Amino acid sequence: MVQEPNRRTFLRTLGFSAASITLSPLVESLLPGSISPAENVPIDLAVAEGSSIPKITSAVVDLMGGIKKFVSRGDIVVIKPNMAWDRKPEQAANTNPHVVATLVSLCLDAGAKRVKVFDHSCDDPRRCYVQSGIAHAARKAGAEITFVDDRKFKEMNIGGEVLKSWKIYTEVVEADALINVPIAKHHSLAKLSMATKNWMGAVGGWRGRLHWRLNQCLADLASFFKPSLTLLDAVRILVNHGPQGGRLEDVKGTDMVIAGVDQIAVDSFGATLFGMKGSDLGYVKEGHTRGLGRMDIENLKVKRVHVPTP
Amino acid sequence: MESAVVRYRIISQALFLTIFVLLFLLTNYRGFDEIRYPVRIFLEFDPLIAFTTLLAAHHLPTLMLLSLAVVGSALVLGRVFCGWVCPLGTIHHFVSWLYHRKEKDILPRSNLLGYRIKYYLLFFILASSVFTLQGVGFFDPISLLIRSMTLFVEPLVNLMVHSIFGFFYDTEIRWITALTEPIYSLLKNNFLSFRQPYFHQALFIGFLFVAILLMNFYRMRFWCFSLCPLGALLGLVSQVSLLRRWISESCTKCDICFSGCQAFARGNQDKWLRSECLVCGNCQNRCPEGAIDFGLSPSAALTKPGPNLIRRNLLVSAASGIVAVPFLRMNSRYRNPNPKLIRPPGALEEGEFLKRCLKCGECMKVCLTNGLQPTLMEAGLEGIWSPILIPRLGYCQFYCTLCGQVCPSGAIKKLTVSEKVQVRIGLAFIDKNRCLPYSQGIDCIVCEEYCPTPKKAIWFIEKRVRDRGRIVKTVKQPVVDLELCTGCGICENKCPVVDKPAIVVTSIGESRSGVNRLSLY
């Protein structure tokens, strides 16, 4: 399926083109895609480690070129965390609330008009929003917290290999900038639930049925949803009994946030945290084969930073 | 125009009805694990419920001692609770007023014959509760009102609001939705249910509720006058109350006071029925001579102007109440537990449970998933409208303890979260003929994904299967761990085989039962 350029990408391309024509001698070295001193080459993945969650979150975004690269003034931003379960942050079933809140602040600082945070939860949404800590933290940071409204799921053309059409949450599609903020965790069928799997929370209908051909369906969703940026929360990861967990023995502290534009690459990197390779995950392999992203992270430019504890 | 008494009475009625409706709306999950202001406080002030609970279950929840305040009010002021406080009484009064306000005489077609029925009903209920049958919930006005509001009024109002605003939303005309959507979200965030509730028997319960409201057209406050057993109890108590009514000598015996009386407690001094008087003040208000006055007098307590109950009828009512107990319990469920009778977590053992359950429906109101539904015959005639979990409609949320918090009688114990997660209400069974990994060799395990126990009660066996084209593949086939399964029903609820799920929870294994268990587990 050919992706229609939306307004944001169109304007950005236009802006870059105009700038590169007029100012090319001056700013050539700063532009993405230009071959210049090594540190200015755009990176594919950014990894920040450290014990301060807000700091590592800001750090990965900075490594990716700063939030302004992804969010423009006046944008309506949708941040899609995983808050599917009635579980607390330390149980590592939902995205870390501080990662989400920091991201909300960054977007607002970049001039976003509105920042919406929501998820189509699995458990009762009211409890998920409260127990995950995300509703409270993100609202404090200035986000609009809403529960999904059943009327806003609309049958849309996915054009995937398995999913021809499915009910999709319109606010996700209508956003000027979409930021996917999953948590890295175990999942019995998908093996791992990360960026691609997080789109299950942006769709409606009988979602369980996607399990029947999960890897293909997830690749189909990855071809449909094109986030501006993906942040993988690996502050704590859930290594067993996912996707809900519940036992602290299954939680591993990895104090890390990973960012990238290529969601397949983000998932592929995430797999390494669990001692796997991207190619071990069916949907990552499928996404790579279809050209939706790259799982060969050894060939990608990954930049790591360690943010020391103050 | 109205006299002070009538004005104060109307303010009081409006105030208590408002409190009732507010508490009703607050009896809901609002982001806190605890419900701080449940509407059950109205049931705790209800002496009939306290009395029958004590008789039937030999147990009195401490908060039900509050009902002594209402008994006290009746000892001093007669049936002031009925006339000034009772929310159902106020609703009846309002409906009656709507219909009868234009009539000069608001009791055109009435007579006094029906007023004794409620006393006989009371004796029936009390006699059966002595023999451990808790039948008060069907007739107690507060229980009836909470149940009708929960199962019928609230779903109806929600559906109406959703369909009206949904209509405007669907027009997709921007200036219309710009107008309607803010109102809709205001209503949704403050007054409506989080999700549209649906209940079994909603129309049946609604029919009964509307029927008793319509009876007000036949006779003002028909329910309060003829049927209400709480009114009867308070009527009996108020026979010895201090309330007195004086008629001064200026009385011309015009009988205008008769026409305003809501309860037909009679106008003139000799025949004034203190047990029927709702202390509404209408007679005082209407008297052209100002000849009527209410007051308290210790000597009044000695005279007993009460209902002229016929002893034979009382005996028959009480005897029927006693006989009703075995009649209602003549049920085969005593021979074998009903697999579908999945009670809420914390519910007492079935016999004890039925002795306490008031069928008020509060547990169903707070249930996050709308899975708690009123029974019809699942628990026998005795258990009609008691709560049952229907996993296909809604499961039991793992860390939620709301139903036990709002239960007024302790039929559902209040559990802490750590106690709750240990309680089993049933056990899940997989139907291998329908489960896709078993029957079709298709990957699924949605049940395992949703299973909420920290160590999952559903695990799987990896099985190599061959499809028709001889391609061999590995699928994960789910298995239930009967030591870990709590019977919450989320697996059944989420099973993608929608018409008849491939995993089903039945009541066996429930912690509360000594019998309905798989031995050794």
Vertex B263: Cα angle to B262 and B268 (nearest 5): 95
| Contact partners, residue B269, CB within 8 Å, separation at least 6 | B245, B246, B247
How many Cβ contacts (< 8 angstroms) between chains A and B? 76
Residue A60 CA to residue A52 CA, distance in Å, equals 12
Selected for mutation to probe chain B from A116, A189, A217 (highest B CB count within 10 Å) is: A189
Selected for mutation to probe chain A from B446, B481, B486 (highest A CB count within 10 Å) is: B446
Residue A145 amino acid letter: I
E strand residue ranges, chain A: 45-49, 76-81, 114-117, 144-145, 153-157, 165-169, 177-181, 183-187, 191-193, 229-238, 251-260, 302-306
Q: Give the pLDDT confidence score for residue B291 in this predicted structure.
A: 86
Long-range contact list for B30-36, CB < 8 A, 24+ apart?
Answer: B31/A126, B31/A130, B33/B399, B33/B401, B33/B417, B34/B405, B35/B366, B35/B402, B35/B405, B35/B406
- Which residues of chain B register pLDDT less than 70? 1-2, 104-113, 265-271, 300-306, 333, 519-521
User: Residue A170's domain is classified under what CATH number?
Assistant: 3.40.50
pLDDT digits (tens, 9 = 90+) for B158-203: 999 999 999 999 998 999 999 999 999 999 988 999 999 999 999 9
E strand residue ranges, B433-471: 458-466
Selected for mutation to probe chain B from A83, A126, A186 (highest B CB count within 10 Å) is: A126
Partner A contacted by B168 (CB < 8 A):
no
Per DSSP, the three-state class of B429 is strand
Q: Count of CB atoms within 10 A of residue B245's CB?
A: 22
Do the Cβ atoms of B480 and B429 come closer than 8 Å?
yes
Kindly state whether residue A20 falls inside one of the protein's structural domains: no
Partner A contacted by B298 (CB < 8 A):
no
Residue B21 CA to residue A296 CA, distance in Å, equals 62
A147, A206, A212 ranked by CB distance to B498: nearest: A206
Q: Count of CB atoms within 10 A of residue B15's CB?
A: 13
- Please name the residues between 179 and 198 in chain B that touch chain A, using a CB distance below 8 Å: 194
**Distance of residue B145 Cα from the nearest chain A Cα, in angstroms:** 27
B29, B446, B454 ranked by CB distance to A211: nearest: B446
Domain boundaries, chain B: 4-148+205-301, 335-521
Q: Which residues of A touch B371 (CB under 8 A)?
A: none
Q: Count of CB atoms within 10 A of residue B236's CB?
A: 16
Kindly state whether residue A25 falls inside one of the protein's structural domains: no
Task: Tell me the backbone φ, ψ of residue A47, rounded to 5 degrees.
Answer: -130, 125
Kindly state whether residue A13 falls inside one of the protein's structural domains: no
Q: Which residues of B touch A124 (CB under 8 A)?
A: 29, 368-369, 397, 400
CB contact under 8 A, A131 and B444: no
A122, A151, A241 ranked by CB distance to B455: nearest: A241
**Distance of residue A207 Cα from the nearest chain B Cα, in angstroms:** 8
pTM of the prediction? Answer: 0.91
DSSP string, B16-47: HHHHHHHHHHHSS--SSSS-SS-TTHHHHT-H
Q: Give the pLDDT confidence score for residue B282 in this predicted structure.
A: 87
Kindly state whether residue A302 falls inside one of the protein's structural domains: yes
Number of domains comprising chain A: 1
CB contact under 8 A, A244 and B460: no
**Distance of residue B443 Cα from the nearest chain A Cα, in angstroms:** 5
CA-derived radius of gyration, chain A:
18
B444, B453, B454 ranked by CB distance to A212: nearest: B444
Partner A contacted by B392 (CB < 8 A):
no
Partner A contacted by B114 (CB < 8 A):
no
**Distance of residue B201 Cα from the nearest chain A Cα, in angstroms:** 24
Q: Which residues of A touch B166 (CB under 8 A)?
A: 151
Q: Which residues of A touch B436 (CB under 8 A)?
A: 212
Per-residue pLDDT of chain A (310 residues), as tens digits, is: 445 556 666 566 555 555 554 444 444 444 444 333 445 568 999 999 999 999 999 999 999 999 999 999 999 999 999 999 999 999 999 999 999 999 999 999 999 999 999 999 999 999 999 999 999 999 999 999 999 999 999 999 999 999 999 999 999 999 999 999 999 999 999 999 999 999 999 999 999 999 999 999 999 999 999 999 999 999 999 999 989 999 999 999 999 999 999 999 999 999 999 999 999 999 999 999 999 999 999 999 999 999 987 6
A127, A206, A241 ranked by CB distance to B456: nearest: A241
Parallel, antiparallel, or unpaired for β A144-145 and A114-117? parallel
Parallel, antiparallel, or unpaired for β A251-260 and A45-49? antiparallel
DSSP string, A12-61: HHHHHHHHHHHHHHHHGGGSTT---SGGGSPPSEEEEE-S-HHHHHHHHH
User: Tokens 């945070």 identify what position?
Assistant: A117
Residue A81 amino acid letter: P
Q: In what helix (H) or strand (E) does residue B504 lie, and over which residues does it extend?
A: strand B503-506
Selected for mutation to probe chain B from A127, A136, A150, A214 (highest B CB count within 10 Å) is: A127
Per DSSP, the three-state class of B326 is helix
Q: What are the distances in angstroms from CA A139 to CA A155, A202, B32, B158?
A: 30, 20, 17, 27
